Amino acid sequence: MKRQNSTFYFLTSNFSFHVIQLIAFIILTGSLLGIFFILYKKIPILSGLPKNGHHGFKKNEFILNIEKKIKYNYFHFFEKQMLLHKLLSKFRVWILKIERKVDVLLHGIRKKAQELDKEVKKRK
């Protein structure tokens, strides 16, 4: 398709670009205004809350006991996982060190075997 060189084509393509920019600007402005409106309404309420995170209501002792049991079991399980992770990491490092030593020994044995093969071939 040939590009038209008329002034009308330039004005219409430029016009549609400006319309798209205008729509994007309106959406951006509306979003920012919405955010500022929500902040304006909620900041006084949020500043009135206590800073230590407590809301002023006391929980039932039954609920507190259940929460303590769950936290103890969960974190105790988590500590066991961390201990197992550390143990497995050290075991992995130990195995890698052993593997490296075995590799060095095998390399030496292969080198000696190649030298023996060369000597046997030279004798023949």
pLDDT (tens digit per residue) in 60-79: 888 888 888 877 777 766 67
Distances (CA, A) of 18 to 7, 15, 26, 45: 16, 5, 12, 41
- The more confident residue out of 48 and 86 is 86
* SS3 label, residue 18: helix
Q: How confident is the model at residue 9 (pLDDT cuts 50, 70, 90)?
A: low
**In terms of pTM, does the model score above 0.85?**
no
Q: Is residue 117 part of a domain?
A: no
Nearest to 3 by CA among 96, 32, 12: 12
Q: Is residue 65 part of a domain?
A: no
Q: Is residue 14 part of a domain?
A: yes
Q: 32 lies in which domain range?
A: 1-57
Q: Is residue 124 part of a domain?
A: no
Predicted confidence at residue 58, as pLDDT, reads 75
* SS3 label, residue 4: coil
Q: Is residue 68 part of a domain?
A: no
Q: What's the total number of domains in the chain?
A: 1
Counts of helices then strands in the chain (DSSP H, E)? 2, 0
Instruction: Tell me the average pLDDT across 15-43.
Output: 92
Q: Is residue 23 part of a domain?
A: yes
Q: Is residue 81 part of a domain?
A: no
Q: Considering the chain, what is the average pLDDT of its residues?
A: 83
Quote the CA–CA distance of 17 and 22 in Å, as a whole number: 9
* SS3 label, residue 3: coil
Q: Is residue 107 part of a domain?
A: no
